[in-house]
Each structure stands twice: as C-alpha cells, then as structure tokens.
Amino acid sequence: MSHAKPIATLRSATGIPTGRLAIWWVLASEVVIFGGLIGSYLLHRLGHPEWADAAAVTNTTIGAINTFVLLTSSFTAVLAHQAAEKGDGKTAAKYLLFTIGGALTFVCIKSYEWWSEISHGYTIASHTFWSFYYTMAGLHALHVIAGAIIMGVVALDAYRGRELHRVELIGIYWHFVDVVWIFLFPLLYIAK
C-alpha cells in the first residue's frame, strides 16, 4: 500500500481541480451546520425580545477589533495565494504565517474577552442567550484553530516549494471562517 498518489487524482473530468471541488463541498456542509445553529439562535432571539438585556453586555469594541483582525488575516491569505500562483513558495509561506498570526491574535483576544465575561458570572449556563453566544462563537473558534493548524502544515510545504495549490484551498476555507464571523458579529454584538 504505497502512498504514491493514485492516477485518479490526476484526472479532471469537470475541468475543475480536485482539491477545489473538495473544499467547496466541505464548505457546503459547514454552511448547513452553522446555518442550523444560527437559525436556531435567530428563532429564539425573535421569540424572546427580553434577551436584549443579556445581549447588552457583549463588548462591541472587542468584537469590532476581532472583526478587523480576521478581515486582515483574510487579506494576507489572498496575498499568499497570489505568491503561490507565481510559484513563490517562500513568500506564500510568509503571508500564511501572518494569517496564522491573525488567527492566534483572534483567539487570544477572544480568550481575554471570555475570561472577563465568565468572571463576571456570564457563563454558558447562566442564560440561554449566553449558551448560544458561547456555542456559536466557540464552534467558530474551533474552526479558526483547526484552520490555523492545517494552514501551518500547508505553509511548511509551501516554504519547501511543495503542494503550492493547497495555499489557495486553505485560503478559500479561511474566507469561509471569516464570512461566518461576519454573520456572528452583528448577531452577537450589534443587535442589542
């Protein structure tokens, strides 16, 4: 059972690269997962206007900073893709590292934010608004962390000039993670 790539991977009956097809299907299933969670939250929120009291406590400034961090990291992911297109693995790896840095910054800021909220008594079980808050943002954060880890592997390969097509793929995933946050930010921080 050698790990040589199957001939099957070299074919492209649709004309679209196999990896890109795969990542779009992954995103399709992720959309339905987050859609289910966000949809459930929306239904609850619309049915419980009094939740606004709980929602008032979220820190819009921190949320906005994190939004900026993620958007910037998406920008560096685009730069990484551009470099990869030109075959410049080392530059691509550099920009991917910036993106990972953005991810870590996001997670650090969120950790501080959550630690602050928890120590004020706003735990996951304190109120159903907070249950949704931590579950949605938590699921999102898990995707950020997982994405950063995979991105690290891709960056390592890219630095060595290998598998450069994966830079685009992890970039597409990263934009999705960004888009989910673009939905969460107004729902959790702005709609008060």
Partner 1 sequence: MADTAVAIDHESHADAHHGPTGILKYVWSTDHKIIAMQYLFTGMFMAVIGGFMAYVFRMQLAFPGISVPGYGQVSPGEYNSLITNHGSIMIFWVAMPVLIAAFGNFLIPLMIGADDMVFPRINRLSYQIFLLSALILLASLFVAGGGFGGAWTSYPPLSAVGEYNQTNIGATMWLIAVALEFVAFLLGGINFIVTLMNSRAPGMKAYDIPLTAWMIVLASVLFMLSVGPLIAGAAMLLFDQTLGTGFFDPARGGDPILWQHLFWFFGHPEVYVVLLPAIGFTIDITSTFARKKVFGYKIMLYTAVATAVLSFFVWAHHQFVAGIDPRMANVFTITTLLISVPVGELLFVMIATLYGGAIRLAVPMLWALSFIAEFLIGGVTGIFLGASGADIYFHDTYFVLAHFHYTFFPIAIIGTFAAFTYWFPKMFGKMLDERLGKIHFWGTIIPFNFIFIPLFMLGGIGQHRRIYNFEHFPELAEPWMYNLRAIATISLVIMLLFQLVFFLNVIKSWIGGEKAGNNPWKANTLEWSTVSPPPHGNWAPADLPKVYRGPYEYGHPDREEDYWPQNEPD
Residues in the chain: 192
Rule CB under 8 A: is residue 156 a binding residue for partner 1?
Answer: no
**In this structure, are residues 107 and 143 in contact, taking their beta carbons and an 8 Å threshold?**
no
Least distance between partner 1 and beta carbon 35 (Å): 6
**In this structure, are residues 55 and 162 in contact, taking their beta carbons and an 8 Å threshold?**
no
CA distance 31 to 33: 5
Residue whose CB is less far from partner 1, 95 or 132: 132
Touching partner 1, residues 76-95 (CB under 8 A): none
Determine the interface stretch with partner 1 among 34-42, 112-120, 146-154, 165-173 (rule: CB under 8 A): 34-42
Binder of partner 1 out of 36, 87, 161, 186 (CB under 8 A):
36
Determine the interface stretch with partner 1 among 18-26, 56-64, 84-92, 167-175 (rule: CB under 8 A): 18-26
**In this structure, are residues 164 and 87 in contact, taking their beta carbons and an 8 Å threshold?**
yes
Determine the interface stretch with partner 1 among 30-38, 59-67, 99-107, 151-159 (rule: CB under 8 A): 30-38
Determine the interface stretch with partner 1 among 82-90, 99-107, 123-131, 174-182 (rule: CB under 8 A): 123-131
Binder of partner 1 out of 55, 70, 76, 139 (CB under 8 A):
139
Residue whose C-alpha is closest to residue 42's, from 136, 139, 109, 175: 136
Rule CB under 8 A: is residue 28 a binding residue for partner 1?
Answer: yes
Rule CB under 8 A: is residue 116 a binding residue for partner 1?
Answer: no
Residue whose C-alpha is closest to residue 43's, from 147, 132, 169, 134: 132
Residue whose CB is less far from partner 1, 78 or 172: 172
CA distance 187 to 172: 23
The three-state (H, E, C) secondary structure of 163-186, written as one string:
CCHHHHHHHHHHHHHHHHHHHHHH
Binder of partner 1 out of 57, 65, 131, 152 (CB under 8 A):
131
Burial class (CB within 10 angstroms; exposed 0-12, middle 13-18, buried 19+) of 137: buried
Rule CB under 8 A: is residue 44 a binding residue for partner 1?
Answer: yes
